Amino acid sequence: MSRTEARTTLALPDRGEPLADRFRATRSLTESLLEPLSEADAIIQSMEDASPAKWHAAHTTWFWETFLLRDHLPGYRLFDEVYPFLFNSYYEAEGDRIARGRRGLISRPSLAEILGWRAHVNEAMDKLLPDPAHADLIRLGIAHEEQHIELLLTDIKHGFSMNALGPAMWDAPACRQPAQCEGWLEHPGGIARIGHQSDGFAFDNEGPAHRALLEPFALSRRLVTNGEWDDFISDGGYDDHRLWLSDGWEWVKREGIAAPLYWREGEQFTHAGWRERDPDAPVAHISYFEADAFASWAGARLPTEFEWEAIARGQDHPGFDSLAGNQLNEAAPPLPAGTGELFGDCWQFTQSAYLPYPRFRPAKGAVGEYNGKFMAGQWVLKGASCATVRGHSRPSYRNFFYPQQRWQFTGLRLAQDR
């Protein structure tokens, strides 16, 4: 498959497809993203937050083997007895695992062996895919692998950015950024219905559905751009303590932060290497601390996750989960009219802490460790990014990160009281 095809493939899976097709498309997408990588590329781990590409390929396979095949396919035997130790991520209930910071040392099994494992598991899954009894777990597994596809992309970008050679994963077309739509989406306030409510798949943290009370507000139709961020920098934004949260100011001073991640003079690092920075493109790779400081500087604020979702639900967006804009493309692509305002390009920080919804209960067993145990100290992000698999996100989707993290495609959209 060519590099261009790999990028196209990222947008392939579709919610309308039969589950077995989606399973295969997702597995295949992971594998296609490994193609531009050498065996060495696939093992680098540039920080504890990031994991090697090979590890993502293996961990997603471990998930299928552990939660589906081992538990539900009679007679299935583990491909390798040591792999669960090597490729469990954080499931305490599933036993010991290697320290997170040592994932970059697993040179064996080789990438070829992991691909062999993937094929083996894919084949074994053929026997479980038709059985509706496993549909829920299979949907969870697909969503899980979709999340790791995005992490694989952001992690390898971070790893490559550490290399003075500035390696490219593929050639990106120089895409013209049209003027973004302007203005504000107004909301009159009132009681909004929040959280997952349809029959489709959702993570446990998106429910239960519940009501939230909103005051009148407005949400910007567009994301903050690189050009506006340049203005923030020129105006001394990184030097004015009054704009910053106390923890954020300490982070700025300690780490010497003075620009978004991956910025250097006039350029930014992308999957296609160092590229000229487009002032009209949305700013990305900023932390919550930076988003909050920018909003203060701009005389606005971040939206709450409830405001964001209320707007998303109120919109006429017939195709928001099959966005053409949601391509793996670092410069923001042209967005179809009326749909692209909220999804695609960048995850958007809200000012909502990542906490349980009313009456939230984690699922039983190891699967229950999926989301609930991370509800401390993180912030909710809404939308989707250019690295999000098409159809993965939805209005109720809650992404979450710590306030200093910024290696994801994270940006911001302003809100105002009305």
List contacts with a copy of itself (CB under 8 A). Answer: 38-46, 54, 82, 85-86, 90, 92-93, 98, 102, 104-111, 159-160, 162-165, 167, 191, 210-213, 215, 241-242, 244-249, 288-289, 292, 351-353, 355-356, 358-359, 368, 373-377, 403, 417
The distance between the two most distant Cα atoms of the chain, rounded to a whole number of Å, is 66
CB neighbour burial string for 123-138, b if at least 16 within 10 angstroms, e if fewer: ebbeebbeeeebeebb
74 versus 108: smaller Cβ distance to a copy of itself = 108
CB of 67 to a copy of itself, least distance (A): 17
* Residue 58 contacts residue 45 (beta carbons within 8 Å): no
* Residue 123 contacts residue 93 (beta carbons within 8 Å): no
CB neighbour burial string for 236-250, b if at least 16 within 10 angstroms, e if fewer: ebbeeeebbeeebbe
CB of 294 to a copy of itself, least distance (A): 15
- Please list the residues that pair with 194 across neighbouring strands: 210
CB of 390 to a copy of itself, least distance (A): 28
135 versus 245: smaller Cβ distance to a copy of itself = 245
Radius of gyration of the chain (CA): 21
CB of 127 to a copy of itself, least distance (A): 28
Whole-angstrom distance, CA of residue 149 vs CA of residue 418? 39
Whole-angstrom distance, CA of residue 328 vs CA of residue 8? 8
35 versus 417: smaller Cβ distance to a copy of itself = 417
Ramachandran angles phi, psi of 268, nearest 5°: -140, 150
227 versus 362: smaller Cβ distance to a copy of itself = 362
152 versus 386: smaller Cβ distance to a copy of itself = 152
* Residue 332 contacts residue 372 (beta carbons within 8 Å): no
176 versus 193: smaller Cβ distance to a copy of itself = 193
123 versus 359: smaller Cβ distance to a copy of itself = 359
In this structure, the number of other CB atoms found within 10 A of the CB of residue 211 comes to: 12
In this structure, the number of other CB atoms found within 10 A of the CB of residue 27 comes to: 22
Whole-angstrom distance, CA of residue 242 vs CA of residue 161? 32
Residue 305 carries which DSSP code?
A: H
Judged by DSSP in three states, 163 sits in coil
Of 404, 407, 408, which Cα lies nearest the Cα of 251? 404
Those residues with Cβ within 8 angstroms of residue 176's Cβ, 6 or more apart along the chain or in another chain: 334
Judged by DSSP in three states, 396 sits in coil
Q: Residue 169 burial (CB < 10 Å; 0-12/13-18/19+)?
A: buried
110 versus 177: smaller Cβ distance to a copy of itself = 110
